[in-house]
Chain A
Amino acid sequence: MRRSGVIWSWFWMILGILYFFLPLLATFLFSLRAELGHLGFKAYSNVFNDPGFQLKFPASVLWAVLTIIVAIVVFVPTAYWVRLKVPQFRSAVELITLLPFVIPAIVYVFGLVRTFSQPPLLIVDSPALLVAGYTMLSMPYMYRAIDTGLRAIDVQTLTEAAQSLGAGWGTILFRVIFPNIRVSILSGAFLSFAIVMGEYTLAQYLAKPAFAPYIALLIQNKAYEPAAATIISFALIWACMGIIQVIGGGEQGQITGGH
């Protein structure tokens, strides 16, 4: 019984790995066939040399980084305050954070365009609106990751301990709360990064340079380059996440009780 359980565990794990990696492998092999008769990296070279890629991939990275910064600045104090001062509203706030799952992006983007394309809020051309939109889309991931991190620490007692030692709200937030939920913020940041890099609707309808609309355009006009761009984006996104991990990670005290 125990042995068969182990076999099934391995079976499902291998199945999961195949489900994830087989399409990636197929895409990769297809991307190598740009030149007739032999395998090579011609499609990759074409993508790297394409001015569209050179403009739109870094643009998406920039939007993602700005989104993460705005999301941290907005959601960490919000989640902290809700948990500390109005815990009775936690369920309501959680429900609000899930709205991007139930409101289709196309509805959302038309709402943004209608609201912000007329005075006094004429900012439809500003990149700030795109970042604000992405921040909303990242909310379910970012807020819940932060909230989970806050649940792992005794927010109220740590806050009161810091207050009794003379700390104000800013100090508490930046020197006590932020460092102790860093891992949760990072995981939320990873998800937000991936969401922004792959998001099509907002960038397309707000007419801003972004990577997802670029790939969509590439698919319509080329055969092998979209596959190469997909593999490149996959590798670059993972590299960017690694950089975030290096910058934001590092050694920190484990959050557990005494032994």
Chain B
Amino acid sequence: MTHLTLKNISKEFGDATAVQDFNLDVEQGEFVSFLGPSGCGKTTTLRMVAGFEIPTRGTITINGVDVTNNAPNQRNVGMIFQAYALFPNMTVAQNIGFGLRIRKESESVIKDRVAEMLSLIHLESKADSYPYQLSGGQQQRVALGRALANQPQVLLLDEPLSALDAKIRVQLRSEIRAIQKKMGITAVFVTHDQEEALSISDRIVVMYEGKIEQVGSPFEVYNFPKTAFVANFVGTLNTASAEVVDPVKGILSMDGVKFVSAENLQDRKKGDAVKFSIRPERFSFASEIKKDNVLDCTIENITFLGSVVRIRVKIGNTKFNMDTFNNPFLELPKIGDKDQVTCSREAVLVLDD
């Protein structure tokens, strides 16, 4: 059942358009991430859902009720901020109980609910601590507990993990996801970190210059990017220009080097210029597995990345990255070596214009 709907949403600040014709339906209990670079309009869209910005055009409905022009305090939407935004003058328990006190709940209800939230965020022993006595991760967990205490209709998270160090970030995002699933709450998460979005979301909305580029599951967005922007932004990607040689067989030519793609090119003509992409991990040395595309290459560079070794190869006049798992018992090629790499025809993705 659709829980949150954004219909034809646009937001203009003076002459600048921050968000343009944004349409999205979010199901009850779904976790949706807005992913994109700085200035793509993802935070503005989230702030419109929260009520901190009013759309120039379009409507926002939550649970069937039009809230487009409602004040933020009339939406029952929980929000978590990058800067934690805990009230410095209040203890952890007082922070969590703040919204319940605004609602004039009885003291016993507030006490029970605060205890429940403290247990949920594993901070029972910090009930009487002030925010400055907590670490960043603990503060953000309190912010989560505070937002959930009110049982909001939608939970909005505005880059909540950006200020935390890498290890805490990974741990906390798992906790957020687990709590969201447990409570069955609809969540919208804003991030510019693709790994974060891929790991936590049911669906990802990739945004660029105020518009939606692609909406899909993390699997779809990563493996089948619809546009050149999505292909480049989500994960590491090789993109190159080619021309269509045979639309029926899916054959492309890149500076005379032939690539075979599994994509349907029926709507293209022979000689059409296209862009195609190949993920670095889809390449392998031709000596290992025989695939459709066997390509002569020169080893240009080798970078050790821990679990992965990134090898820069030159195919024709174009340079590609190839990722291979780090195997200490396999000898790596040397820079300048001539070799052959291969990839399947499914790995060659032709991008929309």
Contacts and interface: CB of A to CB of B under 8 A. Distances in A.
A34 interface: no
B88 A164 contact: no
A171 B134 CA distance: 25
A166 B89 contact: no
Interface stretch (A49-57, A120-128, A154-162, A227-235): A154-162
A252 interface: yes
B132 A253 contact: yes
A259 interface: yes
A153 B88 contact: yes
B85 A179 contact: no
A207 B130 CA distance: 50
Interface in B123-150: 130-132, 134-139, 143, 146-147, 150
Interface size for chain A: under 10, 10 to 19, 20 to 34, or 35 or more residues? 20 to 34
Contacts of B305: none
B105 to A, nearest CB: 11
A167 interface: yes
Contacts of B139: 258
Contacts of B167: none
Contact of A161 (B51, B79, B132): B79
A163 B72 contact: yes
A112 interface: no
B73 A254 contact: no
Interface string B72-109: 11011111010111111111000000110011000000
A167 B71 CA distance: 10
Contact of A254 (B81, B132, B156): B132
Nearest to B134: A258
Contacts of B77: 164
B278 interface: no
A163 B132 contact: no
B37 to A, nearest CB: 22
Given A253-B130, A259-B135, A165 B102 contact: yes
Interface string A215-259: 000000000000000000000000000000000000011111111
Interface in A153-194: 153-154, 157-158, 160-168, 171, 175-176, 179-180
Contacts of B134: 258
A166 B50 contact: no
Interface size for chain B: under 10, 10 to 19, 20 to 34, or 35 or more residues? 35 or more
Given A254-B130, A255-B132, A258-B135, A165 B146 contact: yes
Candidate in A153, A158, A164, A179 with the most chain B CB atoms within 10 angstroms: A164
B73 A164 contact: yes
A175 to B, nearest CB: 8
Interface in A18-49: none
A123 to B, nearest CB: 38
Contacts of A161: 79, 81, 85-87, 143
A168 B84 CA distance: 20
Contact of A164 (B78, B89, B131, B137): B78
Contacts of A168: 73
Contact of B73 (A154, A167, A259): A167
A166 B150 contact: yes
B4 to A, nearest CB: 15
11 contacts: A157-B85, A162-B98, A164-B147, A166-B103, A166-B150, A167-B73, A167-B99, A168-B73, A180-B87, A256-B88, A258-B136
Interface of A: 153-154, 157-158, 160-168, 171, 175-176, 179-180, 252-259
The 10 closest A-B pairs by CB, nearest first: A165-B99, A161-B85, A253-B130, A164-B79, A179-B89, A163-B72, A258-B136, A166-B102, A254-B132, A157-B85
Given A158-B85, A256-B88, A258-B134, 4 more contacts: A163-B71, A165-B78, A166-B76, A180-B88
